[in-house]
Structure 1
Amino acid sequence: MSRMLRASALMAAGTMVSRVTGFVRTMVLAYAIGTAALGDSYNAAYAIPYSILDLLLLGVLSSVVVPMIVRAQQQDPDGGRAYEQRLLTFATVALTVVAVLAVLAAPLLIDLYTGWAPGSRKYEVGVMLARFILPQLAFFGIGAVAGAILNTRDRFGAPMWAPVVNNLVVICVFVMYALVSQARDDIDAVTTADLALLGLGTTAGIVAQAAVLIVALRRAGFSFVPRFDLRNARLGEMGKAGVWTIGYVIVTQLGFLLTTNLSSSAGDQVPGHGISPYTLAFQLFQLPYGVVGVSVITAMLPRMSRAVGEGRLGDVREEFGSSVRLICALMVPMSLLLMVLGPAITVPIYGHGANSVYDAIYIGNVLQVYGLALVPFSIFQLLLRVFYSFGDTRTPVYVGAGTTAVNAGLMVVFYLLLPAEYAVMGLALAYAIAYGLGALLAWTLAGRRVGGLDGWTVGMAMTRMYLASLPTAVLALAAVWGVTEAFGGLRFVNSLIVLAVGGGLGLVLYLGVAHRMRIPEVNSIVGMVARRVGR
């Protein structure tokens, strides 16, 4: 436990700066262009290249590309240098072609990802922004391959800091837009020059990110020489190894496609209740998992894979159990705080500039619903790593397909049944229910694979964590009620008071109660913090 905690803490600290600057980036975005029509157009255009990259590259990068680079380094006479050059050459050429085609197909892509009528102002602005943003496909892909090569050389600094450079560039772009644009969030008044600043500035951030990785690659001793003898690039082997991973990505992207279409349609009916609040709330929801959950998973997977390779299934169960308990020790109170303090979190962040307090409160309402999904989503991701430790990429596709199908069905039902102003909240609720059911299915299948996952022990531990979190939730509710009654609603200062009392003191209260209840995972966290403070 302590070894995992130390490794996870180091990686969490490494990702924190990137997450914080990304957090500031979304704040400045909402301040500059708001979450109504212009914000929706930007967020729709911005999401498209990431979806394409998921389909083409990012889904197989860690599971296929990195192991193949390592194998080439170990087996090839030149230490894999030629193979790395072929791979980077192929990525550069292929993604440049994809970027050009995507720019030409921008109207079709906006039509595919949104419910906007061709010829409408939101559609036209979305197409123009997409044409400025989609060229980043080439640079993002090149940077991703460069980062993978760096990781195989145990150079983790540049891949960690490169996204920070991207965020800083885009923050400066949005600040500049807020200073020089006369249109601000008025989609009818925005000019081509305004859109070029937003779109090309966003692409410039990815260019800077790729440049940092390329420079780091050169400093690591890698000199890029284009190699077009792609027959030796083992693309067929890569395709066979990654086919199931690609299948999982396709399934999840189909779900995302439905989400953007439904949320964009809701935004057409009620401005400020479309893609933008969904996107901004989702980013906040992912923050706790991104800092804590990803770090634990990264530390857990190699050890679990070694245990599988040596036939130590008991160690697999123990590793999984300690990981899920460690994650839930933090995710359980965070999920309750999100459900109670959603608007108090979003008002100080998004209630400025082009975005009103009312718009920020709605983002907080969506975040409250997402709070329901935090624990099941985190457990779901842990369970997928059980299959990956066995080298099984097929089962996660089936589980992901079932989860996405349930999510899609529920999204359509909630969209049709709920008024438009609650539609995006319904999409978040569908997400929470789907991942809860998906976690149950994945748990059953993974348990069969390893001879049980000791669900009784995990369940009892989580029950104690929820009981320890109840005083925190009550304190947070009291803070919201008291400040609202005393000061007449949530504004910037009022929200900060609520966060200080309900969030800050609430977490301290949780740690104290959990410590008194002798919850081992919380005691480990408290002990580690106390030792570091003592230094």
Structure 2
Amino acid sequence: MSSGLYRSAHAASDGTPPAVEDGVTLISVDGQLPGQEPEPSAPAVTAAVGGDGGTAGHSAVMAVGSLVSRIIGFARNALIGMTLGAGIGDAYTSAQFLPGQIYELLLGGILSSVLVPLLVRRRKADPDGGLEYTRKLLTFAVLSLGVATLLVVAAAPLITAVQSSGSTSVGYHDLVTHFAYLILPIIFFTGLSALIGAILNVGGHFAAPMWAPILNNLVVIATCGVFVVVFGTAKGLRPEDMSGGRIALIGLGTLFGMVVQALGLLPALRKVGFSWRWRWDPRSLGLGEIGRLAGWMLCYVAANQVAVFVVVRLLSRVAGKNSASVLAFNNVFLLTMMAHGIIGVSVMTALLPKMSAAAAEGRYAEVSADLSRGIRLTAAALAPIAAIYGVLGAPISVMLFQGGAYGNDAALATGTVLVVAAFAVLPLSISYLCTYAFYSLQGNRTAALINLPVVAVRIGAYVVLAAVLDKSLSAAGMTAGNALSYLVSAVISLAVLRRRIGRLDLGSIALGLGKVLVAAAVAAALGLLVVHLMPGAGAPSGRGEALLQLLAGGTTVVAVYLAVATLLGVREVSQVAGMVRRKLGR
């Protein structure tokens, strides 16, 4: 949304749930809602842009846009916490989840897995390049989104009651509802942005969909600045203290950010020669075919959204109680997705075209070899990042989020959640790679069916951990539930893939993972020792101590990891370094 609302460049980058950008699907999909697994898109879209050279060029544009968007997004998310504080920020973040959840149910997964491949086919098959079909589809989608948005806004009190009424904080639920009335209309502009982005991508234009979300982030950052100038920071404010003016400024500013994002795509739409005309002809769209194709993806998405509702409802119980809650959980999820987006998505961008081509020709041994190589590469690259999160969770959180109404206690509580998230980094990316392997095999149904027990495990872990842990550890517990579900997803996926394509060289994968984990463990142990010798001893009181801990601890972790991994013969470390050098050179 800008907060994770629109699964596009702004999702995971701006500080909303999220996100994972995907240089392969070419729809700028980079964010997931916290508590859910990535929803890979159909690999068929890759063919729309031509060969490897085209894909590499487009990926470079998207990578730069994603990096800038993530940096600005972290600034946005940090400012939201500093401006509103933990308690008010929890209510705001809870309201921000809603448009993303509903959008995903209405359009999100279906857009990338069904509609974009359909537009690609019509572009190639129709004499007019699919222009009339696209106009009819856009007309139907805009009207449907408009009606759905109006109905959702009208039902805002009911929706927020399901999600956040469990809070015992006075006025919390009412505040979430007030924010929701202003933020839920984002659904319409999110869908419009996604549809325009899809049209641009299919037409070979990738820059605007990746860069437009930055406008969204800048608008919200400006809104935070105006809020501080007019009202000051919300430090010490309780939900019942939020005036109508404060709520209106933040809520409407958030909505305006998405409006600006949608409007920012219109010049690019004209540049590719697309002129929209109202064409109401739903019968010619083949809605029955679209529905059949979308069925399994809808099942996948719906299961994930149930998990999101559960985690937000459970965390709402501790919101405003000086505990890490929805805002902290979301901040940490963004850091987790950032690591995954930079490494996991980059590896998959390189491997997916080869895997898809090999699968289409029945060369399953090559699919297996590519998957094995991808897992080892991803693990080798992500292990030191996971170790850094585990060792330096507190100083990272203080550096990124402390300030204004977001005090040191709130930042340290967020750091505890980030330490737990360290154990989710590797399972998340490995499960993601496995799911993309299914998509290369056209296994949409299989991926959706695997996701059902995974989400069941996730929800079960949420409920159990919320019951047994102290409330102050609720967000950390929910993050642990995510990590467990990602691990279950990876294990089930590997077992099913082994039956589907034969030998997976699991011995090589296990040996490679073992070496990487040993190197990461040694690096983490020495990093912890160094950090605890520094001022603040792992619990910095301000950015000065946090910076010293980050410099000393981070340097130790990286250096020790590289040294031990080299001694253990982890070849993938040098391969990752070479891949990075080639990317920078290109």
**TM-score (ref. length: structure 1):** 0.94
**Residues 17-416 of structure 1 aligned to structure 2 (within 5 Å):** 17-36=68-87, 38-116=88-166, 120-182=170-232, 184-185=234-235, 186-267=238-319, 270-416=321-467
1:317-361 Cα offsets, whole Å, 9 max, x none, are: 122122212211111111122111111110111111001101000
Q: Does 1:479 align with 2:496?
A: no
1:365-392 Cα offsets, whole Å, 9 max, x none, are: 0111111111111111111111111211
Could you list the runs of 5+ residues in structure 1 that have no partner in the other structure? none
Residue identity matched to 2:252: L
Structure 1 distance, partners of 2:57, 2:567, is: 23
Structure 1 distance, partners of 2:535, 2:309, is: 38
Residue identity matched to 2:301: V
- TM-superposed deviation, 1:513: 4.2
- TM-superposed deviation, 1:261: 0.7
Structure 2 distance, partners of 1:20, 1:486, is: 28
- TM-superposed deviation, 1:304: 1.4
Structure 2 distance, partners of 1:141, 1:533, is: 34
Structure 2 distance, partners of 1:10, 1:146, is: 18
User: Quick one: structure 1 residues 477 and 86, their matched pair in 2 at CA, closer, same or farther if it must change by over 3 Å?
Assistant: same
Structure 2 distance, partners of 1:385, 1:51, is: 22
User: Quick one: structure 1 residues 116 and 528, their matched pair in 2 at CA, closer, same or farther if it must change by over 3 Å?
Assistant: closer
Q: What SS does the aligned partner of 1:188 have? A: helix
- TM-superposed deviation, 1:194: 1.2
User: Quick one: structure 1 residues 488 and 392, their matched pair in 2 at CA, closer, same or farther if it must change by over 3 Å?
Assistant: closer
- TM-superposed deviation, 1:255: 0.8
Out of 420-429 and 368-377, give the one that drifted further.
Answer: 420-429
Residue identity matched to 1:72: R
Residue identity matched to 1:395: T
1:197-251 Cα offsets, whole Å, 9 max, x none, are: 1011111111111112222111111111111011112222111101000100000
Asked if the contact 1:487–1:494 (Cα under 8 Å) also holds between the matched residues in 2, the reply is no
- TM-superposed deviation, 1:434: 2.0
Asked if the contact 2:62–2:206 (Cα under 8 Å) also holds between the matched residues in 1, the reply is no
User: For this pair of structures, how many residues does the alignment match?
Assistant: 533
Could you list the runs of 5+ residues in structure 2 that have no partner in the other structure? 1-51
User: Quick one: structure 1 residues 106 and 4, their matched pair in 2 at CA, closer, same or farther if it must change by over 3 Å?
Assistant: closer
Out of 457-466 and 104-113, give the one that drifted further.
Answer: 457-466
- TM-superposed deviation, 1:468: 2.8
Q: What SS does the aligned partner of 2:358 have? A: helix
Partner of 2:48: none
- TM-superposed deviation, 1:119: 11
Out of 96-105 and 12-21, give the one that drifted further.
Answer: 12-21
Asked if the contact 1:177–1:194 (Cα under 8 Å) also holds between the matched residues in 2, the reply is yes
Structure 1 distance, partners of 2:121, 2:584, is: 42
Asked if the contact 2:223–2:253 (Cα under 8 Å) also holds between the matched residues in 1, the reply is yes
- TM-superposed deviation, 1:9: 7.0
Out of 209-218 and 253-262, give the one that drifted further.
Answer: 209-218
Residue identity matched to 1:478: L
Residue identity matched to 1:101: L
Structure 1 distance, partners of 2:537, 2:187, is: 51
Residue identity matched to 2:224: F
Structure 1 distance, partners of 2:374, 2:575, is: 13
Structure 1 distance, partners of 2:580, 2:186, is: 41
Asked if the contact 1:344–1:490 (Cα under 8 Å) also holds between the matched residues in 2, the reply is no
Structure 1 distance, partners of 2:196, 2:443, is: 26
User: Quick one: structure 1 residues 378 and 2, their matched pair in 2 at CA, closer, same or farther if it must change by over 3 Å?
Assistant: farther
Out of 10-19 and 140-149, give the one that drifted further.
Answer: 10-19
Partner of 1:423: 474
User: Quick one: structure 1 residues 66 and 316, their matched pair in 2 at CA, closer, same or farther if it must change by over 3 Å?
Assistant: same
CA RMSD in angstroms comes to: 2.5
Asked if the contact 1:350–1:357 (Cα under 8 Å) also holds between the matched residues in 2, the reply is no
User: Quick one: structure 1 residues 213 and 3, their matched pair in 2 at CA, closer, same or farther if it must change by over 3 Å?
Assistant: closer
Greater fraction helix: 1
- TM-superposed deviation, 1:489: 4.1
Structure 1 distance, partners of 2:209, 2:581, is: 30
Q: What SS does the aligned partner of 1:311 have? A: coil
Out of 380-389 and 297-306, give the one that drifted further.
Answer: 297-306
Asked if the contact 2:72–2:218 (Cα under 8 Å) also holds between the matched residues in 1, the reply is yes
Asked if the contact 2:61–2:206 (Cα under 8 Å) also holds between the matched residues in 1, the reply is no
Q: What SS does the aligned partner of 1:162 have? A: helix
Taking every aligned residue pair, what percent have the same amino acid on both sides?
A: 35
- TM-superposed deviation, 1:488: 7.8
User: Quick one: structure 1 residues 62 and 356, their matched pair in 2 at CA, closer, same or farther if it must change by over 3 Å?
Assistant: same
Structure 2 distance, partners of 1:114, 1:259, is: 10
